[in-house]
Chain A
Amino acid sequence: MEEINQNSQTSQDFNSDIYKPNNEDDLREIIKYCFKKNLPIEIVGRGTKIRIGKKLQCAKTLDMSNISGIIDYKPEELYITVKAGTPIQTIQNELKKNNQHLAFEPVNFSEIFQKDSNEGTIGGTLSCNFSGSRRFKVGSARDHILGFKGYNGKGEKIKSGGTVVKNVTGYDLSKLITGSFGTLLVLSEITLKVLPLQSDTKTIIISGLGLEHAIEIMGSAISSSNDPSGAVFYPDSLRDNFVFNDLTHRGSITAIRVEGSKTSTEQRINNLIQDLSLIEKNITVLDSVQSEIFWEETRCLKVFSKNQKNILRAVIPTSETINLLNRLKSFHPTYFIDWGGSLIWIELDYLSNQKIEQIRKRILVANGYLTVIKSPENVKLSSEIFTIDPIKFKISQNIKKSFDPKRIFNPGKMYTGI
């Protein structure tokens, strides 16, 4: 094994509780040191999603925020390569200059956790893989990562993928890393697929639909050749969160978004109104500016930002949504539905371990899965945050071992023992 040089390679003080590498040499030395000394480390970007997953009791924190910056951006090749600690906002601002964006709309948790404008880093975003309303059309974060470089638990530099979309050259580790909550490796460089921003966005808002009708309409819209890029339902109880000049009707909100050129969005909005027989309904069409605000608020979970309640995330097949919500009635949830019916964000006043398990059971029966996003620390301590079965637990344990044999990266963040 290589000797660790505590003096020349890195400016790190190894006695400090927080390691903050300034470059890859620092990073490598830190990981090698932790590997050698069996020191578990909690990997942190800008801390925006630190409260998702189990609270860690690590001896050390690895603060990645200085490993930041754009390495290579080729708009005509539709990719950008960035350092893992680069803020999402920095990337989006750069892409906007060329009318491009990260199409997977990473969910912005800042409104419900730390209440500031910090949206987190790209490394954190990929590690968590929570994607926005465009999911059913363009995929999630995992579909937009083309390649990466990073360090495994032994401090060895590993790369996978590249800068091209079509690639079958070895296992697709980019996907495996995405959503692994920093338990497999520390990302250092990431190449992302970027896509053109559409010149026009329009949103049909249908007011006052009941849940069943809304689910049916969203399903029909998504299943049509009008190619919507968002379909969300806010029940009546959340209506007051949306104040738009054009929005005069009351009641629940069912919103369907289309994006494209102006002629295209106009035609598709007209098609949708006709195909879904909306002419008799209370409809409003939001223009580009208002649409953007509406979907941005959805991406930020704005309706949950007013209070400090518990938040759960359930993903289920659309066909099960109504049944599930009926079965959850006794918990009196506040909720809204995204992804055209298959993602339910749930807000609850009180949460206990028992309650989580009761809800999880109902979601599992519906062939879906539950993720606890926000809950009191004492509840989190004794609850499963993510859903897993024993077979996949064993597989995951083996995979974890192949990357991080001493379990120094975020141990227990996802599952006890991983």
Chain B
Amino acid sequence: MTSLKMPKVDRKILKDKEKIVKEIANFTNRKNILSEIEELKPYETDGLSAYKQTPMLVVLPENTIEVSKILSYCNKNKIKVVPRGAGTGLAGSALPLADCVLLGLGKFNKILEKDFKNRCVVAQPGVTNLSITHAVQDKGFYYAPDPSSQIACSIGGNVAENSGGVHSLKYGTTTNNILGVEIVLMDGTVTRVGGKVFDSPGYDLLGLITGSEGLLCVITEVTVKILKKPDTVKAILLGFPTIEDGGNCVTKIISEGIIPSGMEMMDKVLLEATNNFSKAGYPLDAEGMLIVEIDGTKSEVDELIDRVAQIAKQNKCSSIKISKSEEERLKFWSGRKAAFPACGEMAPDYYCVDGTIPRGKLAKVLKEITKLSKKYKLPVANAFHAGDGNLHPIIMFDANDKKSLEKTEKFGEDILKLCVKFGGVLSGEHGIGVEKRELMCEMFNNQDIQQQISIKNSLDPSSLLNPGKVYPILRKCAEEGRLHIHGRDKSKFSDIPRF
């Protein structure tokens, strides 16, 4: 395990563990409280498996009243609480603390209402992202944000992390696609923010809560907007002799006023890796490849695909392939979706970095990443949500070699610093969690961070809800900035797609 400074452990709380179990059993069924080491073990990490910490207790409440009573009790007794959805987050936001109650929302797994008239779904937070779409697809609707782990990640976790996906450019991220939440504050107060209407009056608490990584409240219900599925969806594969040409093409497509529903770029390393893995039919002579997806009415899609092809030709593209069927479109995506497992084939371990840059800076940033790859003598493959500037370099290394691990960590950190240097941000969709906590000062000064912390203090004065996350503890720009998957078969949730 990589060492990480976390808030000071309260020994007195640990000493009172048995008493705490007994008292929490007044609020929820005793069998919902896990306290034995073998029961706690599965909860010691989230999707960022480089960090592990067994919690003091895991509590799995069954309803909002129980959540409220547990939080109120913990607040009075100064017990730290770490909320957790499906535990698929990649930044360590749900990493337990040694003296915490890990509050698992797994039993909140029901869709409460499908309201087609108001085009929304009311769901409990433990419902998976994909099952919302599954619940409404018979009527032709879907929920737009589609993080790659959508088969497993929970909607409550999506709200906490403001999850994105490959379609964010056109459809936005979670924050643009939810209407309301029910929340419980650390003192046990239950309230509803928003509802089935847009832009609730007063301060936009919904906007504040979304992406707050479990630091402000526990989410116990979510109302999401649903959209009608587009008539037609087509994808086009474009190969380029250089990454710069691909980057220029992305810029040109946007400048021409076209907003594709998805626009993904892969570099040569990743193209070769994924093509071997999934036989997606990618152009192997290309240095970079774009998948551009357009949705809408048939005539519109045909027209825009043609225009994209024209723009690509003017930007030196070396190959063009347009999907002729839904099967072919999915095949185009299959390689991209296999990016992580494909890298797992090439090296014993890999780190995925998540940062966002202005899309016009793509070529420059990739050039710098290549330089860093040479400097650290570690291969890197680049996947890029080119449409919205979200970069996912995947660094390959061998964790058994301690030096290699250290170098990889440094490499990841340098990439994130590059993102900020080029006008981007530290995280596009994975969040800050513990992973990038100490890098926050790359983007923000003390005053900015202090303002954010004072908002936290105003809602959770004793800082008991998910402390040690998002905001720097060391207050120096150092340490980690990546997802660590140790060995492709041993990785946590290795069966969940990541892209």
Contact = CB atoms under 8 A, between A and B. Distances in A.
Interface string B442-486: 011001110110110111000000000011000000000000000
Contact of A367 (B162, B196, B429): B196
A356 B143 CA distance: 37
A264 B118 CA distance: 26
B48 interface: no
B116 interface: yes
A77 B360 contact: yes
Nearest to B190: A391
9 contacts: A76-B252, A169-B443, A175-B208, A184-B203, A225-B231, A261-B303, A315-B197, A392-B202, A402-B455
A118 interface: no
Contacts of A100: 257
Contacts of B452: 160, 170-171, 173
A401 interface: yes
Contacts of B454: 402
A398 B195 CA distance: 22
Interface of B is mostly: loop
B49 interface: no
A169 B427 contact: yes
A227 B436 CA distance: 39
B470 A342 contact: no
Contact of B201 (A159, A176, A386): A386
Contact of B300 (A223, A260, A342, A401): A260
A141 to B, nearest CB: 9
A57 interface: no
A267 B455 CA distance: 49
Interface in B239-256: 251-252, 254-255
B254 A78 contact: yes
Interface stretch (A2-10, A19-27, A62-70, A150-158): A150-158
A226 B227 CA distance: 11
Given A142-B204, A162-B424, 12 more contacts: A142-B199, A164-B358, A164-B389, A166-B390, A166-B428, A168-B430, A175-B207, A227-B228, A386-B201, A389-B191, A391-B189, A392-B205
Interface string A169-186: 111111110111000100
B442 to A, nearest CB: 10
B55 to A, nearest CB: 24
Contact of A168 (B141, B189, B211): B211
B147 to A, nearest CB: 11
A158 B297 contact: no
A167 B444 contact: no
Q: Which 5 A-B residue pairs are closest in the complex by CB-CB distance?
A: A175-B207, A196-B257, A264-B300, A398-B458, A166-B428
Given A76-B255, A162-B425, A165-B168, A172 B211 contact: yes
Contacts of A250: none
B429 A179 contact: no
A177 to B, nearest CB: 8
A226 B191 contact: no
Nearest to A343: B198
B458 A402 contact: yes
A167, A226, A316: which has the most chain B beta carbons within 10 Å?
A167
Interface in A131-147: 131, 135-136, 139-140, 142-143
Interface string B413-433: 000000000011111111110
A403 interface: yes
Contacts of B161: 168
Given A166-B168, A223-B116, A196 B208 contact: no
Interface stretch (B172-180, B335-343, B398-406, B488-496): B172-180
A387 interface: yes
B198 A339 contact: yes
A171 B423 CA distance: 18
A323 interface: no
B228 A223 contact: yes
Contacts of A160: 448, 452
B198 A263 contact: no
A396 B203 contact: yes
Contacts of B140: 225
Contacts of A222: 119
| Most central of B168, B358, B470 by chain A CB within 10 Å | B358
A261 B452 CA distance: 43
Contacts of A319: 115, 117-118
B218 interface: no
Contacts of A195: 259
Contacts of A143: 172, 175-176
Contacts of B254: 76-78
Interface in A41-94: 74-78
B102 to A, nearest CB: 22
Contacts of B440: 169-170
A167 B356 contact: yes
Nearest to A371: B201
Contacts of B427: 167-169
Contacts of A198: 257
Contacts of A162: 356, 423-425, 443
